[in-house]
């Protein structure tokens, strides 16, 4: 066993090339990771989508350097990738982690591996280099008003017509659709087949005629979208893989997404916890620092412990992936644990602040820029988004401990 991790301990073991590469990353980050970018990223820390333009621009620059998805499967050169050595992958990971950079998935972190595995040669040559360079970004087109966790019941219809499909219907919660270039769309191509057998997966240019994007405002003040398709024509070449086989690709993509989400879940909680520790040291209630209140001490210690477990769960997932194992159960554990920790940090943090815990980020008197209050709201959706925790727990028990599946009705 070995729990070594992070930049400081590994620098000594870098090769000559590794040292240069590390310096290149550090120089780049010194220049590009400006306080404004840090602040923009702070506001949306550990979220899967780059919501704020400044942060988005930073992610794009990372992509341009070929550093965006260091843990993704190797990206072959013929598709615009940079074939990195294990050492380079490790250095990217270490330097990013040391600066608190969590790379989002909107730039094809989910789509890349699926296209690589199932896309046609034409599709690979067209889209993979653009993903690698950060030129295109995806919004997910899965959920519909009547298809959520039970996604396979989706009703959006794609009808084959010559060289195109003609698509009609509605998607909801397409976060980022209003600034993304493409939709990663699941639609029904065979309504007569059993529900899992009649779905296909498409890449749709969101600028296509007939696409209407409308905002849906969430309770934490963010924008997601509903997307309407009205006779939208999509070339057959934009279908990912085989017709009617979409469900298996989507399941794969959901698996990748879960690993991405599992890897990010709870990563922001550590810095909020650090801020809370400073806060209770500096803040007095009834003449004594909050830090001396035994219940506050217990609560923060408990959060610190659960944060440590979160870190170790994520290490395990990363370690398994580095060995070529697809950590399905372990990623589900990371996701459940990290997201529930996010919820606890928001809830307990606002409790510790008392009346101040309800102040929003731009309010007079607000502590810690309202980050804790925001976390309390933001974290609500994490326990169902990207796989509900009920499904995750059933997956953990059935695949992890061999429990029998619930009979299908």
Partner 1 sequence: MDFDLNEEQEMLKTAARDFLSKECPKALVREMVQDERGYPPELWRKMAELEWLGLIFPEKYGGLGGSFLDLTVLLEEMGRACLPGPFFSTVVQSGLFILNAGSEEQKQNLLPKIAEGKVIVTLALTEPSASYDAASVGVEATSNNDDYTINGTKLFIPDAHIADYIICITRTKKRGVPEEGITAFLVDGRSPGINCTVLKTIAGDKLCEVIFDRVRVPKKSIVGKLDQAWAPLEKTLQQATLAKCAEMVGGGQQVLEMSADYTKERVVFGRPLGSFPVIQHYVANMMMEVDGSRFLTYEAAWKLSEGLPCTMEIAMAKAWTSDSYRRVTALGQQIFGGVGFIEDHDMPLYFKRAKAAELTLGDGNFHRERVARQLGLPFHAQS
Which residues sit at the interface with partner 1, rule CB under 8 A?
1-5, 277, 280-281, 288-289, 291-292, 294, 297-298, 300-302, 304-306, 308-309, 312-313, 315-316, 318-319, 322, 333, 336-337, 390, 392-394, 396-398, 400-407
Closest approach of Cβ 266 to partner 1, in Å? 13
288 or 364: whose CB is closer to partner 1?
Answer: 288
Range list of β-strands (E), 320-400 = none
Residues labelled catalytic: 257
Q: What is the DSSP string of 34-82?
A: -HHHHHHHHHTTT-SS--SHHHHHHHHHHHHTT-S-TTSSP--GGGT--
Which CB sits closer to partner 1, 9 or 231? Answer: 9
Return the number of the residue (194 or 404) whose C-beta is nearest partner 1. Answer: 404
* Nearest partner of 198 among 255, 162, 239, 157, judged by Cα: 157
9 vs 17: CA distance, rounded Å: 17
Cα–Cα distance measured from residue 100 to residue 38, given in angstroms and rounded to the nearest whole number: 9
Q: How far is CA 34 from the centre of its chain?
A: 23
- Whole-number minimum distance, CB 34 to partner 1, in Å? 29
CB of 386 to partner 1, least distance (A): 17
The torsion angles phi and psi of 188, rounded to 5 degrees, stand at: -85, 125
Least distance from partner 1 to the Cβ atom of residue 404, Å? 4
Q: Which is nearer to partner 1, 103 or 300 (CB)?
A: 300
Distances (CA, A) of 41 to 47, 70, 81, 130: 9, 19, 26, 24
Q: CA 210 to CA 157: how far, in whole Å?
A: 14
Strand duo 182-188 + 138-141: pairing: parallel
Looking at the Cβ atoms of 249 and 313, the one nearer to partner 1 is 313
Strands 223-235 and 164-172: antiparallel
Q: How far is the CB of 254 from partner 1 (least distance, A)?
A: 18
């Amino acid at each position: 066993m070995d729990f070594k991790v992070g930049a400081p301990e590994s620098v000594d073991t870098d090769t000559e090339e590794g040292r240069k590469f590390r310096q290149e990353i550090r120089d780049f980050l010194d220049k590009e990771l400006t306080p404004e970018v840090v602040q923009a990223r702070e506001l949306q820390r550990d979220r899967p989508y780059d919501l704020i333009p400044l942060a988005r621009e930073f992610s794009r620059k990372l992509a341009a350097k070929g550093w965006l998805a260091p843990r993704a499967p190797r990206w072959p050169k013929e598709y615009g990738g940079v074939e990195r050595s294990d050492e380079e992958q490790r250095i990217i990971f270490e330097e990013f982690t040391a600066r608190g950079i969590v790379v989002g998935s909107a730039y094809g972190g989910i789509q890349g591996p699926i296209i690589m595995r199932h896309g046609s040669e034409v599709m690979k040559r067209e889209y993979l280099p653009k993903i690698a360079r950060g030129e295109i970004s995806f919004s997910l087109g899965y959920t519909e008003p009547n298809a959520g966790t039970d996604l396979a019941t989706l009703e959006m219809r794609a009808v084959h017509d010559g060289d195109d499909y003609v698509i009609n219907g509605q998607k909801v919660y397409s976060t980022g659709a209003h600034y993304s270039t493409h939709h990663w769309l699941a639609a029904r191509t065979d309504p007569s087949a059993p529900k899992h057998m009649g779905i296909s997966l498409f890449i749709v240019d969101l600028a296509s005629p007939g696409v209407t994007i409308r905002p849906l405002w969430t309770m934490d003040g963010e924008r997601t979208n509903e997307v309407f398709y009205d006779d939208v024509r999509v070339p057959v070449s934009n279908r990912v893989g085989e017709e009617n086989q979409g469900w298996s690709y989507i399941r794969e993509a959901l698996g990748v997404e879960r690993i991405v989400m599992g890897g990010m879940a709870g990563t922001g909680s550590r810095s909020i916890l650090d801020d809370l520790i400073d806060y209770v040291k500096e803040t007095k209630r009834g003449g004594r620092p909050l830090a001396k209140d035994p219940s506050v001490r217990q609560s923060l210690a408990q959060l610190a412990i659960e944060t440590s477990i979160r870190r170790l769960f994520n290490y395990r997932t990363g370690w398994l992936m580095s060995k070529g194992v697809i950590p399905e159960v372990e990623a589900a554990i990371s996701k459940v644990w990290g997201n529930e920790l996010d919820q606890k940090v928001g809830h307990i943090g606002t409790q510790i602040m008392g009346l101040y815990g309800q102040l929003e980020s731009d309010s007079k008197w607000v502590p810690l820029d309202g980050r804790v209050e925001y976390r309390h709201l933001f974290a609500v959706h994490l326990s169902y988004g990207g796989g509900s925790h009920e499904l995750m727990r059933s997956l953990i028990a059935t695949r992890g401990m061999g429990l029998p599946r619930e009979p299908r009705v």
